[in-house]
Chains A and B, each alone.
Chain A
Amino acid sequence: MVLHPVGALNVSQRAVPLDLTLDKFGNQQPNDANRFSIDVASGGLAKVQTLQEQFAPAQFRNMDDASKLSQPAYVPMDSGISLASSGHVYASGTAITRNVRYDLTVIDTKFRRTFRRFFNYTGSLFFHLLAGASVARSGLSTFRKNQTQPYSDKVKVGPATYTVATQADNRAHSPGAIGFTSQAAAQDYLTRQVAIDPSLAGTLHVLSQFEVAS
């Protein structure tokens, strides 16, 4: 396995969705563990992102026929993690700073001229003039990118997301109850919340994000 030094390492699989309580696995009941997760155990790497793959929720959750028919056959569910170095993104050694003073020659008419060493010239113009430096003229530069991509916002098509909401007013149950990429994951969250606090039974339901009351 060979990795690019500035890259990130993705660990992902398509056998079992992670962070989801499995009622079944195909036609079989799990008999030792029914909910899996992957974490970084040690070393200089840390999880930076959760990865997702397409899974068929009906393969892993007990669902009635109506639910199977009313939900997409495949939905994105957690499948692994992306790893990069932990702590700071960058590493380096002692920085040394140099104040930039100019050698200034002033040439007036009639051969009058003066010379000054280490002349301190306005810092604000210095920053302005960086826009004309070789680096800003490079094809890779941010300056050029701003010329060809003047808009920061683009048309984006997002995945459908689901929220666990209170049945009484359709507001999100808690800040952690939003943004599930599948109904199965949201339903799993609901079940776990009810297990923690049985008084919630019958008071929550899963809604598409756009139907949640703000």
Chain B
Amino acid sequence: MKTIATYSFLPWLRQGVANTIASADGDPAVKTRATIDVSLQLSGDPVASGNPELLQPISQQVQLYSPGDIIGIDSRAIVRLEPRNWVTNFESNYLPGIDFYDEDFAWRYTPAAPDGSRLHLRPWIALIVLTEKEFTDGKMTADRPLPFITVPDATVFPPADQLWAWSHVHFNQSLGANPSELISPDMGAVLPRVQSILGQNPDFAYSRILCPRRLDDNTGYHAFLVPVFETGRLAGLGLKPDTAPNATFSGWGTYGGKPEPSNYPFYYRWYFSTGDHGDFEYLVSLLKPQPVDKRVGTRDMDVLDPGSNIPGITDPDLGGILKLGGALRVPDADLNDADRAERKKYEDWDQPYPHKFQVALAKFINLQDDYSNQTAAAANTASGIGPGIDDDPDPIITSPLYGRWHALTQRLLFKPDGTAVDNTANWVHRLNLDPGFRVPAAFGTDVVESNAEEYMNDAWEQIGDVLAANARIRRLILAKEISWRWHAQSLLPLSTFNAERALMWTAPVSRRVLMGTTTVPALARTSLVPPVYTSAIMRRVIRPGARLMSSLPFTPEITRQNLLTRVNQGDVSPAPPREVSPEVPTVDEIAQASEPTGVPQGILDLLAKYPWLPYAILVIALVVAVVLFVLVPGSLAVSLAIAAVGVGLFFLLKKWEYADAPSLGILPANQTPEYVTKLPKNPTFVLSDPSSAVHSSPGASDSPTSLRFKTALRDSYSLLTTTRPVSVQPEPVALNFKSLTSTMMTAVDPQLTIPRRGLALINIPDWIRILIGDDFGEVMAYPKIDLPMYEPLKGISAELFLPNINLIPPNSITLIETNQKFIEAYMVGLNHEFARKLLWREYPTDQRGSYFRQFWDVRGYFNFDNLPPDQLKERLYDIPELHKWLLTSLLGQHNNRQPAGKTGEQAVLVIRGELLKKYPTAVIYAHHAQWARNPDNSIDLTQPRSLQDIDDAFEEHPPQNVVRMPLYEAKVDPDIYFFGFDLTVDEAKGGSGKNPNDDPGWFFVIKQRPGEPRFGLELTRPTLQAEVFDEVTWDDATAGIKPGQFLQAGSLGAVTLVKPPANEDKQAQWQDDTTVDTALASAARWAYLLFRAPVMVAVHADEMLGNGS
């Protein structure tokens, strides 16, 4: 499935605050400007809690600028005129139009909201076309903001209430949800797409105004962009806009007391005329191959008197001239022998090299270097150039040495001692010592000089806030150096000599320092030296000179400087350890007191430690008894005795264990709910004072008091068990002072902290960081201007770009070739001068950048290899970076686009024709042809070749063997185009077709530029009834409509389209058109209806290039 190109139209578009305008078109209450309500609310939190919030509504009516405030538009806002200014063969069935860059421009100042259907909104400007008889130019223009015309009869203006129909927004992408959706009324879905397309590339949409007037044949017309509303008309004439009846009253309506009723100011005007034979195909057919005139590309340059006391070039052979070239030249192959010899003579004018002129020029240029080594008078005398310089005691202004910074070359031909420098024939020498290349370099300096403001502006914009950043960086560097001095001289020695003191010093910033993932105070909090030791008060108290410290006795071990160390070692503690008074009974004492009497303490301890001990003894005794009984015959009695002793011991130990349980239960480690169950039962237990004489004895059951007491005990032990682990304080640890001090010293090292702080506030992009490295220093950068630089050269004069350009015949196609030496010389001149300019304007850069590398316009290049944008750009530059040009290389050997190993100039197709005057943006590229074949696969020469089909797989990215876009292009107004194609003439022409394997060659496809549709209606049609909108005629819209009359917005509301035969390409178009026919009348529907299918003409290279070169 082929993707199909689409345009989408919107009937109007508004953005921003203007969307809140609520007043209707024609609202008499709106006098000059639309207003919007702004309601704000100021709220204040109450001081006293509980009070209500304080609220204060604020309302204000805000007016919006309206046409009455507009007294001119920037002509840059206009991107296209249809037809172009002074086109004299515009087809009379088409509508003139004007496109604006901003997609909302046509409705921006309209002081009204769209109508209820939201399909109609009148623009604030209208396009009118008038014949010369219908108006006169206004004479009294003094004190008037805009020029004006006088139109006595207002019927030549389009109906004011229908103007909504003739202005629309054009999108170069579909706004539909899918390819089959042609009408998209759901604005909730459409507007996000609008926003997305404009966010992606604002060039994809623009607004357009058409003039719905039926034009006459062979008539001159003046087109004017005029204000629609009376307020705009009055403001344009310098009158008060508030005298208009209301803000949306028509500028050509009538009312009582209308001032200057026939005068109409205009924002923009141009001229065109209608004529026959203006259609695309006819104009293509006029193009014919022609041989190129040999004079194209050179002109004579007088070299007899170069000035500055430098001798002229007076060789008799040369006739006092040299040949100055241009960016292109006639190929050698197109010259006869005599012409070639003549060209060679002028190319080799300086043989034997160096010519005396070059020697003098080199000495003259070298003077600027001489002045740095000796006095001006001495340097002038030593130069030996001749009188006028030799005897001048003052420095003189010398000529520039182009490329001196890029090539790091300060002298030509001679070193200061007079011996020869190396590489005297390299590009620097050729460029600087041959007038044929010095002059193009000077063109470069001239271009930079005349456009300096623009280029400098671009350069500053690219780099951003560099001045503020550098000012800040300089201050930070100063701060860094001062702080570093203090850090290195005072703090670092202190940290070595007395880490504790250094730690005290840096304590105020410690909360900002991390050790690992924890801050220093957080770490100190778990140590023996909590932050309180380094707090401000503590520091004050223990500083060496403090009163307390002076009055304390110190010893060699206990000094003024080691308090923290001793605290850290545990030698010093802020409070003595807690001690229990001997009179207070402790838990341990009570437990001991309640132990059973008469039982050895060692056994009780063993039982407490190993509760399994009784069982172990029982088991061992039984096992020993059984083993003895089995192994030793007759030992029954002994075995039984051992068993009995075991059982006896078991019961005894269990009894003691039981008796010891209460005393163990008191110990903190045993205060668990489980332990309560182990407590002995006591039937006589009562609660009593410890000093009372009440005693109870264990028994088989618990008394009710005992049960309640045990429950209470269990609960309180549960609480203890839960809270104990939470309340455990980790044992404070000693700090590692050495690593802590080292961390603190690093953390306050100004070599690290100041750059860190500085760079956190300054964003330095990667492309600059690559240049300056990681060092903390001032930002430097090379700006880059990728504009095609042939344009400003051509802007000075097309003759500088290509001498004798006017000798290219009209309606011709020719082949010439590039002149790489000229292009290189010019580009060096540009870069050299811009380097000087950057220095002069204090741009932070050295002077070795290659700011301009693009000579040709490469917008047409198709990215066949899918290169990333940066690599693509690099490939398309015309020259490599200047500082990489080898000093051994020659001028003309630096073609960045040329594949490695290839030399020679590249062929350029030149087209001059009426076609390009009328369609100045027409597309030209090459498309491979395919033969028509007979059933036996032989070539059918009776049928024309056709455009080779593109495989579906390559549909999105056509391969280079099917489509070739121009590598580069250039245009000289009004009608000359240059294209560089990667095709030889033979390849393009292809074979004869007599052999089945002959290559069919290439078509050159010339077509209307996408994004530039044309609008109109037909005069006649081949069929009786229209099958598609493209066949609708003016008479269909209004029967018998005459030239000068207007298309009515209400006409063609429903168009009857007859279904075309099934085998025609028209079917798909008919399907689309019948769908859109059902849409409600709007400017978008009108744009669709008036759209004329664009034209493409494929001409085979064999036809186009003929038998010429």
Which listed residue, B7, B785, B1094, touches A103 by the CB 8 Å rule?
B1094
User: Does A50 sit within 8 A of B, measured CB to CB?
Assistant: no
**Interface-located stretch among B61-69, B236-244, B482-490:** B61-69
- Binary contact readout B1052-1093 vs A (1 if CB under 8 angstroms, 0 otherwise): 000000000000111011001000100110101101100101
Which listed residue, A95, A122, A128, touches B950 by the CB 8 Å rule?
A122
Q: Are A35 and B45 in contact (CB under 8 A)?
A: yes
Beyond A6-B18, A92-B190, A123-B5, is A106–B1098 a contact (Cβ under 8 Å)?
yes
CB distance from B346 to the nearest CB of A (A): 36
Q: Are A36 and B519 in contact (CB under 8 A)?
A: no
CB distance from A159 to the nearest CB of B (A): 7
Query: Using Cβ atoms and an 8 Å threshold, which residues of chain A touch B779?
Result: 155
Beyond A45-B17, A88-B191, A108-B1100, is A33–B458 a contact (Cβ under 8 Å)?
no
User: Does B47 sit within 8 A of A, measured CB to CB?
Assistant: yes
Measured in the bound complex, the distance between the Cα atoms of B1092 and A101 in whole Å is: 10
- Binary contact readout A39-52 vs B (1 if CB under 8 angstroms, 0 otherwise): 11111110000000
Q: Are B766 and A153 in contact (CB under 8 A)?
A: yes
Query: Using Cβ atoms and an 8 Å threshold, which residues of chain B touch A133?
Result: 203, 921, 1009-1012
In the A-B complex, the 7 residue pairs with the closest CB atoms: A33-B44, A154-B464, A153-B765, A210-B760, A123-B3, A5-B18, A126-B5
Q: Are B191 and A90 in contact (CB under 8 A)?
A: yes
Q: Are A5 and B17 in contact (CB under 8 A)?
A: yes
Measured in the bound complex, the distance between the Cα atoms of B518 and A101 in whole Å is: 69
User: Does B344 sit within 8 A of A, measured CB to CB?
Assistant: no
Measured in the bound complex, the distance between the Cα atoms of B194 and A92 in whole Å is: 10
Beyond A94-B1079, A128-B965, is A101–B1093 a contact (Cβ under 8 Å)?
yes
Q: Are B947 and A167 in contact (CB under 8 A)?
A: no
User: Does A176 sit within 8 A of B, measured CB to CB?
Assistant: no
Instruction: Identify 28 residue pairs between A and B in the complex whose beta-carbon atoms are under 8 Å apart, listed by A's number.
Output: A6-B104, A31-B47, A36-B45, A42-B39, A84-B17, A85-B19, A85-B20, A88-B192, A89-B15, A95-B10, A95-B175, A95-B183, A97-B8, A97-B184, A98-B1091, A101-B1068, A101-B1069, A106-B1097, A119-B1096, A132-B1009, A133-B1010, A134-B99, A135-B101, A140-B76, A146-B786, A148-B458, A153-B767, A155-B763
Measured in the bound complex, the distance between the Cα atoms of B42 and A41 in whole Å is: 9
Query: Using Cβ atoms and an 8 Å threshold, which residues of chain B touch A118?
Result: 1028, 1065-1066, 1068-1069, 1093
Beyond A33-B45, A90-B194, A149-B461, is A155–B768 a contact (Cβ under 8 Å)?
yes
CB distance from B258 to the nearest CB of A (A): 25
Measured in the bound complex, the distance between the Cα atoms of B64 and A42 in whole Å is: 18
**Interface-located stretch among A7-15, A56-64, A71-79, A178-186:** A7-15
User: Does A196 sit within 8 A of B, measured CB to CB?
Assistant: no
CB distance from B455 to the nearest CB of A (A): 8
Measured in the bound complex, the distance between the Cα atoms of B191 and A85 in whole Å is: 14
Measured in the bound complex, the distance between the Cα atoms of B944 and A100 in whole Å is: 25
Which listed residue, B40, B756, B761, B767, touches A38 by the CB 8 Å rule?
B40
- Binary contact readout B826-863 vs A (1 if CB under 8 angstroms, 0 otherwise): 00000000000000000000000000001000011010
Beyond A45-B17, A130-B204, A156-B465, is A100–B4 a contact (Cβ under 8 Å)?
yes
Q: Are B512 and A97 in contact (CB under 8 A)?
A: no
Q: Are A44 and B36 in contact (CB under 8 A)?
A: yes
CB distance from B1098 to the nearest CB of A (A): 5
Closest to B461 in A: A149
- Binary contact readout B635-659 vs A (1 if CB under 8 angstroms, 0 otherwise): 0000000000000000000000000
Q: Are B57 and A41 in contact (CB under 8 A)?
A: yes
Measured in the bound complex, the distance between the Cα atoms of B201 and A124 in whole Å is: 16
Measured in the bound complex, the distance between the Cα atoms of B756 and A133 in whole Å is: 48
Measured in the bound complex, the distance between the Cα atoms of B10 and A125 in whole Å is: 24
User: Does B521 sit within 8 A of A, measured CB to CB?
Assistant: yes
User: Does A109 sit within 8 A of B, measured CB to CB?
Assistant: yes
User: Does B514 sit within 8 A of A, measured CB to CB?
Assistant: yes
Measured in the bound complex, the distance between the Cα atoms of B3 and A103 in whole Å is: 17
Query: Using Cβ atoms and an 8 Å threshold, which residues of chain A touch B183?
Result: 94-97
Query: Using Cβ atoms and an 8 Å threshold, which residues of chain B touch A85?
Result: 15-20
User: Does A54 sit within 8 A of B, measured CB to CB?
Assistant: no
Q: Are A124 and B1079 in contact (CB under 8 A)?
A: no
User: Among residues 132 to 147 in chain A, which have CB atoms less than 8 Å away from a CB atom of chain B?
Assistant: 132-144, 146-147
User: Does A200 sit within 8 A of B, measured CB to CB?
Assistant: no
User: Does A158 sit within 8 A of B, measured CB to CB?
Assistant: yes
- How many residues does chain A have at the interface if contact means C-beta atoms less than 8 Å apart? 110
Which listed residue, B194, B854, B944, B1010, touches A112 by the CB 8 Å rule?
B944
Beyond A88-B191, A94-B183, A95-B184, is A135–B1065 a contact (Cβ under 8 Å)?
no
**Interface-located stretch among B298-306, B807-815, B955-963:** B955-963
Query: Using Cβ atoms and an 8 Å threshold, which residues of chain A touch B47?
Result: 30-34
Counting chain B CB atoms within 10 Å of each CB, the highest count among A89, A98, A156, A169 belongs to: A98
Measured in the bound complex, the distance between the Cα atoms of B13 and A15 in whole Å is: 39
Q: Are B44 and A96 in contact (CB under 8 A)?
A: no
Which listed residue, B12, B184, B923, touches A96 by the CB 8 Å rule?
B184
Beyond A123-B4, A132-B859, is A105–B511 a contact (Cβ under 8 Å)?
no
**Interface-located stretch among B88-96, B114-122, B442-450:** B114-122
Beyond A124-B957, A170-B512, is A117–B1093 a contact (Cβ under 8 Å)?
yes
Measured in the bound complex, the distance between the Cα atoms of B62 and A8 in whole Å is: 11
Instruction: Label chain B's interface by main secondary structure.
Output: mixed
User: Does A2 sit within 8 A of B, measured CB to CB?
Assistant: yes
Measured in the bound complex, the distance between the Cα atoms of B1072 and A90 in whole Å is: 27
Beyond A126-B5, A155-B465, is A21–B1065 a contact (Cβ under 8 Å)?
no
Measured in the bound complex, the distance between the Cα atoms of B1011 and A109 in whole Å is: 31
CB distance from A175 to the nearest CB of B (A): 19
Which listed residue, A6, A105, A140, A205, touches B101 by the CB 8 Å rule?
A140
Q: Are A124 and B175 in contact (CB under 8 A)?
A: no
Q: Are B4 and A101 in contact (CB under 8 A)?
A: yes
Q: Are A125 and B963 in contact (CB under 8 A)?
A: yes
Closest to B788 in A: A147
Closest to B969 in A: A132
Closest to B1097 in A: A105
Measured in the bound complex, the distance between the Cα atoms of B8 and A28 in whole Å is: 63
CB distance from B171 to the nearest CB of A (A): 8
Measured in the bound complex, the distance between the Cα atoms of B20 and A147 in whole Å is: 37
Q: Are A141 and B101 in contact (CB under 8 A)?
A: yes
Q: Are B862 and A128 in contact (CB under 8 A)?
A: yes
Q: Are A155 and B466 in contact (CB under 8 A)?
A: yes
Beyond A43-B38, A44-B20, A91-B19, is A5–B184 a contact (Cβ under 8 Å)?
no
User: Does B522 sit within 8 A of A, measured CB to CB?
Assistant: yes
Q: Are A6 and B108 in contact (CB under 8 A)?
A: yes
Q: Are A130 and B465 in contact (CB under 8 A)?
A: no
Measured in the bound complex, the distance between the Cα atoms of B104 and A100 in whole Å is: 23
CB distance from A18 to the nearest CB of B (A): 9
User: Does B235 sit within 8 A of A, measured CB to CB?
Assistant: no
Closest to A131 in B: B859
CB distance from B475 to the nearest CB of A (A): 12
Closest to B105 in A: A6
Beyond A3-B17, A5-B18, is A97–B182 a contact (Cβ under 8 Å)?
yes
User: Does B462 sit within 8 A of A, measured CB to CB?
Assistant: yes
User: Does B589 sit within 8 A of A, measured CB to CB?
Assistant: no
User: Does B206 sit within 8 A of A, measured CB to CB?
Assistant: yes
User: Does B1103 sit within 8 A of A, measured CB to CB?
Assistant: yes
Measured in the bound complex, the distance between the Cα atoms of B44 and A35 in whole Å is: 5
Q: Are B190 and A95 in contact (CB under 8 A)?
A: yes
Q: Are A160 and B761 in contact (CB under 8 A)?
A: yes
Which listed residue, A92, A134, A144, touches B191 by the CB 8 Å rule?
A92
Measured in the bound complex, the distance between the Cα atoms of B219 and A192 in whole Å is: 78
User: Does A37 sit within 8 A of B, measured CB to CB?
Assistant: yes
Q: Are B41 and A41 in contact (CB under 8 A)?
A: yes
Closest to B1076 in A: A96
CB distance from A120 to the nearest CB of B (A): 5
Query: Using Cβ atoms and an 8 Å threshold, which residues of chain A touch B786?
Result: 146-148, 150
- Binary contact readout B173-204 vs A (1 if CB under 8 angstroms, 0 otherwise): 01110000111110100111011001001111
- Binary contact readout B6-49 vs A (1 if CB under 8 angstroms, 0 otherwise): 11111111111111100000000000010011111111111100
Query: Using Cβ atoms and an 8 Å threshold, which residues of chain B touch A21?
Result: 45
User: Does A193 sit within 8 A of B, measured CB to CB?
Assistant: no
